[in-house]
Amino acid sequence: TIGGVGNNARGVTGINWNIKIIGLKFLSASGSGSLSDAIEAINYAVDLKNRGVPIRALNNSWGGGGFSQALYNAISRANDAGIL
């Protein structure tokens, strides 16, 4: 629903009608994945941003797990790169 175009008689309307979405998948079909792969996905997004791809936000709603300093650092790097 993030990028669902409205006023087109197709159903759901999203928040932004003019958007491109990049899928950075690291979770399996069962919803499991490694912390290192999560960090790699975030770092990849930061790298793309640093190369000029206009990434503005990440959705990191994976759930589960305790605090990880390494994940915190990756999210902080994304924030420092201007990614929400």
pLDDT tens per residue, range 4-62: 888 888 888 888 888 888 999 999 999 899 999 999 999 999 999 999 999 999 988 88
pLDDT tens per residue, range 63-73: 777 899 999 99
C-beta of residue 55 within 8 angstroms of C-beta of residue 22? yes
Q: Residue 52 gets which letter from DSSP?
A: T
C-beta of residue 42 within 8 angstroms of C-beta of residue 60? yes
Q: Global pTM?
A: 0.84
